[in-house]
Amino acid sequence: MALETIPFSKALNAGLRKAMEDDDRVLLMGEDIGKLGGVFRVTEHLQRDFGEQRVLDTPLAESGIVGTAIGLAMAGFRPVIEIQFDGFVFPAFDQITTQLAKLTNRHEGKLSLPIVIRIPYGGHIGAVEHHQESPEAYFAHTPGLRVVSPSTPNDAYWMIQESIRSNDPVIFMEPKSRYWQKGEVDVESSAVALHASRVVRTGSDVTLVGHGAMVTTLLQAAALAEAEGTSCEVVDVRSLSPIDYAPILDSVRKTGRMVYAQEAQGFTSIGSEVAATVMERAFYALEAPVLRVSSYDTPFPPAKLEGAYLPDADRILEAVDRSLAY
């Protein structure tokens, strides 16, 4: 294996570069992604190396960006859009949910729209509202969209390429708090399919499940639990629509307990859907109710309060203790 240790953001950059080298139909579009390289520098140097015809700095008009990408996809291109921050996606929500998500079905499968919409999401960067939100459930609820969220640099490198190769529109949720997290990237082969869940730590007492930035927090909680004598298995969902339930259900049937943790609010969320499905499909294996740990059902607070708002390892461990107490 050819392994490199690089930050999450550099892994995304490398994945985008590889996709552009492999297919000259791949175009990048977004606000400040060219000369600046994006606010998180994910697209740094790509305009320099591929030119302004393939890495386009757009106006501040998210609806227009998505609408243009739809037209380009119809013409045979494979656009990759960057939404600068999670909260900025909503001006394009109509284009995404009523046009992009439905056009293939409207044309009875004869029209493909291979568009990737990259959305940096989540908290832990000390920013204000519209910059630290978690809107993934909106898109996972919309038929016609694929929704994925990598949690490691290796997944970032491979999942962005696999998303670009998809002939369906993909909402690519990037946990912005992990952009600077380093990890090993195998640049020669991908071990996991785009929509596969994955066990990232084995255990026997409680199953911890999550996606995106929360996977790192779950691993921290599992390490603390082990020091107290509790063995936690951790499952990274990776794909939010469709969801690969097999690894989750297999783990729950082994441990008998499950906690889902997420940065998003708890009401009608990804965690809600996974909890309900596990209760339906593995009810007789459960020794305790499925528990959820999430942010509160309020707008994102001022930055100084994000530590109290976002779930941390302590809140996850409290849920583990409650599960074990049944």
Residues 2-44 have pLDDT tens digits of 788 999 999 999 999 999 999 999 999 999 999 999 999 999 9
State residue 199's pLDDT score.
98
Whether residue 52 is found in the same domain as residue 102: yes
Structure tokens at 8: 């999450």
Mean pLDDT of the chain, nearest integer? 96
The last residue of one of the domains, among 186, 214, 237, is 186
Mean pLDDT of all residues in 131-153: 96
| Residue at 20 is within a domain | yes
For the residues of 185-212, what is the DSSP string, one character each?
EESS---S-TT--EEEE--SSEEEEE-T
| Residue at 291 is within a domain | yes
| Residue at 214 is within a domain | yes
The last residue of one of the domains, among 186, 219, 241, is 186
Mean pLDDT of all residues in 285-299: 96
Q: Is 195 a catalytic residue?
A: no
Whether residue 97 is found in the same domain as residue 220: no
- In the set 45, 124, 130, 131, the catalytic residue is 131
Is 91's pLDDT higher than 70? yes
In degrees and rounded to multiples of 5, residue 187 shows phi and psi of: -85, 0
Q: What is the band of 132 on the pLDDT scale with cuts at 50, 70, 90?
A: confident
| Residue at 253 is within a domain | yes
Predicted TM-score (pTM) of the model is: 0.96
Is 126's pLDDT higher than 90? no
| Residue at 191 is within a domain | no
Q: What percent of the chain has pLDDT over 90?
A: 92
Whether residue 131 is found in the same domain as residue 61: yes
Whether residue 127 is found in the same domain as residue 206: no
Whether residue 175 is found in the same domain as residue 234: no
- Sequence length of the chain is 326
Sheet holding 170-175, edge to edge: 55-57, 26-30, 78-82, 116-121, 170-175, 146-148, 239-241
State residue 309's pLDDT score.
93
Is 1's pLDDT higher than 70? no
State residue 62's pLDDT score.
96
State residue 127's pLDDT score.
80
Bond from prior residue into 150 cis (ω within 30 degrees of 0): no
Whether residue 149 is found in the same domain as residue 229: no
3-state secondary structure 53-73: CCEEECCCCHHHHHHHHHHHH
Q: For residue 274, which of 216, 209, 215 has the smallest C-alpha distance?
A: 209
Is 191's pLDDT higher than 80? no
Q: Domain containing 265: what range?
A: 198-325
Number of domains making up the chain: 2
Instruction: Measure Cα distances from 289 to 56, 206, 215, 279, 319 in Å.
Output: 49, 12, 21, 8, 11
| Residue at 100 is within a domain | yes
Whether residue 41 is found in the same domain as residue 102: yes
| Residue at 192 is within a domain | no
Is 128's pLDDT higher than 80? no
Is 81's pLDDT higher than 90? yes
Whether residue 68 is found in the same domain as residue 132: yes
Whether residue 175 is found in the same domain as residue 277: no
> Residue 64 sits in a domain of what CATH number?
3.40.50.970
State residue 303's pLDDT score.
87
Whether residue 208 is found in the same domain as residue 162: no
| Residue at 304 is within a domain | yes
Whether residue 35 is found in the same domain as residue 178: yes
The last residue of one of the domains, among 186, 210, 228, is 186
Whether residue 40 is found in the same domain as residue 180: yes
Q: What percent of the chain has pLDDT over 70?
A: 100
